[in-house]
Structure 1
């Protein structure tokens, strides 16, 4: 059948009917709008006129509909199967995610425990520094704790052997021992102040405010919360930014005198040195003498020949 042109409506509400000139058998109908107002808008029905009655007509037969239904059923089944597969995969991934979440929580808890242990070790075990306060039984009031008090001790002054002053605890705990004297052994003796033998008036009272000659030297081991300590010989004040723990005078064993064979290190003796009441006996042992600076390779100034050297212990 050739193309035909039918008149449409001129508004959006009026229904317009058009009759085909004769009966037509067709699978489809093509409608091409020719004229429109503003934009194309079209709704239509095809009616069958029999016995003066109008009935809507399906353009496809039963076979076409059955085939379309079968195609749609197949697609629905495919999509249902795909959906079920996706649901199974979602369940698998959800289970895997839950397991990973459990693992993350476990590792987070373990990490928190390790972090707490590290922080505890950093603040308790590795925090602060320890130093010996020679000549005193207490620690300074600079945020320090007393670890223990004891006795300055070392090798006998006229014997070769160990050099260092040590702070021997006042509360010994014994292991296996033999109280018999051994013919060959290293020995430890208490330490005496010997400032009177250096021709100082009143056994060094001008330096320490009291006579210390032949008295025994105590000591205290102190812990400070600050990270580092240093003993600075040659001055009795700390450098800026450091905290003064205590100051005093540099002491050691005697130099250049025959009979004083024991080497010693240098120690900083507190300017307010103490001693025990009733210990004023010349038992010798390890000895402490004031240290003088000697010009030569030693720069003077700033130092002065034969002047007693001060010292200070600082922390930061």
Structure 2
């Protein structure tokens, strides 16, 4: 910018002062004689006594000021670009960080931990309660187990007959209990808890394993359980390896029952499976 200004000023100086000569004789304060065309197409010239040195000084000052002004304007433009770019980059970084943190806060998964009153380390407990479900002898109705909260909000009493919410009990006689479990839990009610894991987007229950696959985080592992095959169908549930009873009550009241289950080879390929073995399970998040 300022270079173009210098070139323009220099060109003007050449146009204004194309021919000049010195007419003084020994006088240091004399003026130069400048000859300029008077009119185009005429052979006449205009001669004037001008102080060229003084005009050159003014011209140099003018050029210097224009150069300075052009340099300052150019630097201001550059600094403005640098500052604007820096602000844009900072804003982009801040927005990305906020979005990432908000995504981490909002994103999460829930799962039920069957057989325990609390959640694993690193997970928030939404509520704790007891297992409920349809009675083992009912042919119709719901087949899934329910995790009923310990602080229910009760509906109105109704006279119709369609009872489907019963308590859940462990059925762990001496001849059927998973390895490491105590027979003292037989006929005890089953607790549960609903857990929330932040910064995760998927939950996966894997039957037949006690560890998660690479890239997945294990919430808990245990035994796959359901109702007895001679009863009406129930869903499968992954009951914690360290299952506990809801309380010390032992009434054999039945309801939604939990039996340990085992494998049966044939259509189930053995290996890799083994006949008549406990079925393990693991709850994984990612």
Q: Which bin holds the TM-score, normalised by the shorter protein?
A: 0.5 to 0.7
2:118 to 138, 142, 165: 138
**Residue 145 of structure 1: how far off its partner (Å):** 0.2
1:224 to 197, 207, 218: 197
Superposition RMSD on alpha carbons, in Å? 3.0
Cα deviation code 1:162-189 (max 9, x no counterpart): 10001011100134x12x542x324200
Q: Secondary structure at the match of 2:180?
A: helix
In structure 2, the partner of 1:243 is 217
How does 1:140-289 map onto structure 2 within 5 Å?
140-141=120-121, 143-160=122-139, 161-175=141-155, 177-178=156-157, 181-182=159-160, 184-196=161-173, 199-200=175-176, 204=177, 206-209=179-182, 211-225=184-198, 226-255=200-229, 257=230, 260-261=231-232, 263-289=233-259
Cα deviation code 1:63-109 (max 9, x no counterpart): xxxxxxxxxxxxxxxxxxxxxxxxxxxxxxxxxxxxxxxxxxxxxxx
Gaps of 5+ in 2: 1-19, 26-38, 49-95
Whichever structure has more strand as a proportion of its residues is 2
Provide the rounded CA distance (Å) in 1 between the counterparts of 2:189 and 2:259.
Answer: 13
TM (norm. structure 1) is: 0.58
Cα deviation code 1:192-232 (max 9, x no counterpart): 100217x13xxx37333563210100000000012211111
Cα deviation code 1:31-81 (max 9, x no counterpart): 17xxxxxxxxx6437xxxxxxxxxxxxxxxxxxxxxxxxxxxxxxxxxxxx
Gaps of 5+ in 1: 1-9, 16-26, 33-41, 46-114
Provide the rounded CA distance (Å) in 1 between the counterparts of 2:246 and 2:21.
Answer: 124
Pairs aligned (count): 205
Change (3 A) 1:29 1:278: closer
Change (3 A) 1:14 1:251: same
